[in-house]
């Protein structure tokens, strides 16, 4: 079996309440960089493969681990990116507080098939992507006795754990139960076996 270490990115500018312009170009704060620097010491001595999402904050979080494991192949997986469900045009130049009413409106609508903008995802599309990532992890590393570090995002991780525990649950039920999952803090690390 392979062990997959799922690692949430360090504190980002968005997490710290700063104004951001695009969800994929948000950088880490100095605290986030410090958190990322501590990740390699919390992982095994040998990492066989490192994966990060396409978002800058996961690349920056992965950088110290990449440096600590220079022989490990590094891959970028778009499927491991964060759930971006808001209208990106309305979010441009906003902070966490500005986006709060849009976030509440989306979740209160409670529609797993709602896609508010062509460049955003519905919850159903998000879950399909999470399942695709799970399938790919099992296909690429299942039974291979590898140690893999996957740098990703909080909402992605919540959905990933839901899919592990309830693989055949209807997507609307997953959405209804989504926030029953515990909070995942910056640079929290969880493991699964594949």
CATH of the domain at 33: 3.40.50.1240
Q: How far apart are CA 161 and CA 130, in angstroms?
A: 10
Q: What is the span of the domain harbouring residue 78?
A: 3-193
Residues 45-58: b if buried by 16+ CB within 10 A, e if exposed: eebbbbbbbebbbb
Residue 189 CB neighbour total at 10 angstroms: 13
Domain count within the chain: 1
Q: How far apart are CA 108 and CA 155, in angstroms?
A: 17
Residue that has been written with the tokens 């010491």 in this structure:
41
- From first to last of its 194 residues, what are the pLDDT tens digits of the chain? 999 999 999 999 999 999 999 999 999 999 999 999 999 999 999 999 999 999 999 999 999 999 999 999 999 999 999 999 999 999 999 999 999 999 999 999 999 999 999 999 999 999 999 999 999 999 999 989 999 999 999 999 999 999 999 999 999 999 999 999 889 999 999 999 99
Residues 50, 149: contact at Cβ < 8 Å? yes
- The pairing of strands 74-76 and 3-8 is unpaired
Task: Give pLDDT, residue 143.
Answer: 86
Task: Give pLDDT, residue 181.
Answer: 83
């Amino acid at each position: 079996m392979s062990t997959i270490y799922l690692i949430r990115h360090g504190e980002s500018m968005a997490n710290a309440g700063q104004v951001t312009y695009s969800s994929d170009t948000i950088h880490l704060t100095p605290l986030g960089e410090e958190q990322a620097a501590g990740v390699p010491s919390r992982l095994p001595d040998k990492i066989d493969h490192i994966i990060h999402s396409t978002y800058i904050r996961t690349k920056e979080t992965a950088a110290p681990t990449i440096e600590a494991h220079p022989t490990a192949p590094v891959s970028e997986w778009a499927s491991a990116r964060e759930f971006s469900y808001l209208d990106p045009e309305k979010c441009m130049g906003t902070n966490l507080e500005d986006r709060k009413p849009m976030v509440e409106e989306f979740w209160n609508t409670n529609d797993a098939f709602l896609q508010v903008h062509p460049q955003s995802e519905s919850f159903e599309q998000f879950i399909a992507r999470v399942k695709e990532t799970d399938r790919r992890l099992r296909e690429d590393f299942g039974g291979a006795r590898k140690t893999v570090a996957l740098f990703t995002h909080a909402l992605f991780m919540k959905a990933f754990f839901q899919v592990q525990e309830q693989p055949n649950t209807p997507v609307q039920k997953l959405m209804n139960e989504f926030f029953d999952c515990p909070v995942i803090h910056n640079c929290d690390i969880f493991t699964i076996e594949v």
